[in-house]
Each structure stands twice: as C-alpha cells, then as structure tokens.
Amino acid sequence: MKTVTVHLLQFLIICILTVISEKAAVAQTAQQGADVRQDQSSDHEILKWFYRMNEVLATKDLETVMTMYDDTEDIIVIGSDSGEVFVGRDRVKLFMKMIVSMPFVFSFEMDRPVITQRQNIAWMFSDGNMVHTRSNGKVSKVPYRITAVLIKKGNEWKWKMFSGSIPRSE
C-alpha cells in the first residue's frame, strides 16, 4: 500500500509540474508572438504584393506569373485538388502553365488576412474566395483558404510556399 501511495504522489507531482511548465511555455510563446508582429505598413506592403498576384494572373503570361515566385528550387505550391503538390521551379511552372491556360482568370478575395513577419520572411493565412472570371464576364466564387510563406528579395516579396484549400462543410 505504501508503494502505491508513493507512486500516486510521484504521479501527481509530475502532473502538476507538467501543467506549470505548459502554462509557462504558452506564456513565453505569447510574448514571443508579440515580439514578431511588425507595424501595419509591413502588412500593407505584403497585402499589396499579394493582390498584385491577381493582376499578374490576369495577364495569363506564364513568365510574368513565375516572377512572383522565389527563383530557387525549393519553392512549393499545393493546390486544393487531389494530387496538386508541386515542388521545385519546373513543377511549379508546369502547374502555373495549367492555371494560365484555363478558360477563365483566377483571382483571390481574401478577408481578414493574418500576416506575421520576421525580417525578410513572412507567413500569411486568410479565408476568402477563389474567383473564376470568364471572358463573357460571368464570375463564380468558391470558398478558399490560403496559407503562404513569403520571402523578401531586394524590395519585392516572393512566394516560397503556397497552400490553397477549399474548406468542406463541418
């Protein structure tokens, strides 16, 4: 009985220490998050760049679209359809060729984006819509989520990683 009591006491002490250390870790992470947040002008710059992608997609010019991506081989685009995982410039270019060849123009409406930046790296999440605009003016919208990692090269932001998803009903 004494052994069981000792083990139970040890277990309780471990549980209490775990809870205390988790609370401390959460508090530290929250503080670090406060340190990461940049001024609103940085967010505006990134949003302006993001919406420039709509303009570039509207050109349907593959080479112009590819200027929006980092020029390294480790870029990644994950589309919302099954099998749409493209790693490397050649694979991303192949996917974007398909996108600009569609009989409509892709664009995005993003509501309340969440942007965080640290030096020359930014990450973003937003709910919104993927928009298809046909040449006859017909527009269709699909709920869409974007998660992205951007890298700043010189004065321009570039896609490093893009992941799009269509939320399903819960």
State the CATH number of the domain containing residue 83.
Answer: 3.10.450.50
- SS3 assignment, position 15: helix
Q: Show the tokens assigned to 36.
A: 């990461």
User: Is residue 146, in this structure, part of any structural domain at all?
Assistant: yes
* Region of poorest pLDDT, from 7-11, 71-75, 85-89: 7-11
**Residues in the chain, total:** 170
Rounded mean pLDDT of 41-52? 80
User: Is residue 115, in this structure, part of any structural domain at all?
Assistant: yes
User: Is residue 7, in this structure, part of any structural domain at all?
Assistant: no
User: Is residue 72, in this structure, part of any structural domain at all?
Assistant: yes
Closest of 131, 140, 135, 161 to residue 149, by C-alpha: 161
User: Is residue 128, in this structure, part of any structural domain at all?
Assistant: yes
pTM for the full predicted model: 0.72
What is the count of structural domains for the chain?
1
Distances (CA, A) of 30 to 52, 66, 77, 126: 32, 36, 30, 21
Rounded mean pLDDT of 68-77? 95
pLDDT of residue 37: 44
User: Is residue 118, in this structure, part of any structural domain at all?
Assistant: yes
- SS3 assignment, position 105: strand
User: pLDDT confidence of 114, banded at 50, 70, 90?
Assistant: very high
Q: How many Cα atoms sit within 13 Å of 67 on the Cβ side?
A: 12
Residues paired with residue 133 on neighbouring β-strands, in sequence order: 105, 139
User: Is residue 170, in this structure, part of any structural domain at all?
Assistant: no
Question: What is the residue range of 87's domain?
Answer: 37-165
Residue 169: its H or E element: none
Alpha-carbon distance 158 to 163, whole Å? 14
User: Is residue 140, in this structure, part of any structural domain at all?
Assistant: yes
Residues 6+ apart with CB under 8 A from 16: none
Q: How confident is the prediction for the chain on average, in pLDDT?
A: 82
